[in-house]
Amino acid sequence: MQKRTLGKSGLEVSALGLGCMGLSFGYGPATEKQDAVKLIRRAYEQGVTFFDTAEVYGPFTNEELLGEALEPFRGEVVIATKFGFKLENGAMAGLDSRPENIRAVAEAALKRLRTDVIDLFYQHRVDPNVPIEEVAGTVKQLIQEGKVKHFGLSEAGVQTIRKAHAVQPVTALQSEYSLWWREPEQEILPTLEELGIHFVPFSPLGKGFLTGKIDENTTFGKTDFRNTVPRFSEENRKANQALVDLLGRMANERNATTAAQIALAWLLAQKPWIVPIPGTTKLHRLEENLKAAEVELTTHDLQAINEALSHIEIQGHRYSEQAQKMINR
């Protein structure tokens, strides 16, 4: 697995990380613990050194899973986790980035992750009730205390990024970015390049849609959050199939490379400081995704994708109205 560096601080990680949320939360019932541990360890064996989790995934159970799975080789991997939500009775109940909550989340995460330091600590969503300078200052103190190594932001806007970075250098920004959500190209990517902040795209496979395994007839379980996503309505899935068909054609032209591999290879080709974190619950999908790091798209390939995309209009919002309110732009 190739390596990439996050931020000016030189945090080296595998070119593809593993987003672990879906093993415990969000896409239906949690994966059996034994199977989840096996998948995480298999990712490590395949060269993955960057694992992403958060307090709210479960809540808590995803961090505990990573703590157990990664304990045998903790010193060889980078673990990212997140703070910033208010939890009541095991459910998200708004945002909370008050300094006392950031500290409490850090202390609890250290225990669950079975570690003495958090490699990358993201603010999960920007809290409008707490100045970002105060948030950055709190994480700066945690870094000085040796409990955190690097500071990150998730779904933050340009002004928030600049203000935070002035207090404590931001190593990475996490946000959704893929062939069907290219909004970060407008303002986010140029700002990150200017400041030397690196980018970690989540949902690089469009929450599963770009794999080609979802169509207008697919049904989702009751606890699958895609039921709330407008882009996943039956009508919009049918309309958006044109993008998946494009990826499938490109995959066929490249001798049986999957649509998912093309989507991930496209992301890797955008900037040398982009590290996507696809997630999966299946070992064979893990193997397929990681092979994307070996797919090199030529300049001609990239131009062909962009040309084809210019004729495809993606339908549907990427979040529900309520979830969109927590996006800082």
Active-site residue set:
57
Structure tokens at 54: 């958060």
In a domain, 33, yes or no: yes
pLDDT digits 0-9 by tens, 168-216: 999 999 999 999 999 999 999 999 999 999 999 999 999 999 999 999 9
User: pLDDT category, 305, cuts 50, 70, 90?
Assistant: very high
Residue 229 has a pLDDT of 92
In a domain, 306, yes or no: yes
Residue keyed to tokens 């400081």: 273
Whether 329 has a pLDDT exceeding 90, the answer reads no
Query: In the 3-class helix/strand/coil scheme, how is 13-70 assigned residue by residue?
Result: EECCCEECHHHCCCECCCCCHHHHHHHHHHHHHCCCCEEECCCCCCCCHHHHHHHHHH
User: Looking at residue 242, which CATH number applies to its domain?
Assistant: 3.20.20.100
pLDDT digits 0-9 by tens, 33-81: 999 999 999 999 999 999 999 999 999 999 999 999 999 999 999 999 9
In a domain, 60, yes or no: yes
* The pairing of beta strand 91-95 with beta strand 85-88: antiparallel
* Number of structural domains found in the chain: 1
Residue type, 197: I
Q: Determine the structural domain holding residue 26 and report its residue range.
A: 3-324
In a domain, 83, yes or no: yes
Entry field: residues in the chain? 329
Residue 200 has a pLDDT of 98
Residue 294 has a pLDDT of 92
In a domain, 13, yes or no: yes
Distance CA 320, CA 92 (A): 15
As a whole number, mean pLDDT of residues 309-328 equals 90
Distance CA 278, CA 276 (A): 6
pLDDT digits 0-9 by tens, 102-140: 999 999 999 999 999 999 999 999 999 999 999 999 999
Alpha helices in 170-280 (DSSP H): 188-195, 234-253, 259-270
Whether 147 has a pLDDT exceeding 90, the answer reads yes
In a domain, 329, yes or no: no
Whether 256 has a pLDDT exceeding 70, the answer reads no
Structure tokens at 49: 């050194």
Residue 320 has a pLDDT of 87
The model carries a pTM of: 0.96
In a domain, 156, yes or no: yes
Residue 233 burial (C-beta neighbours within 10 Å; 0-12, 13-18, 19+): middle
Residue 322 has a pLDDT of 87
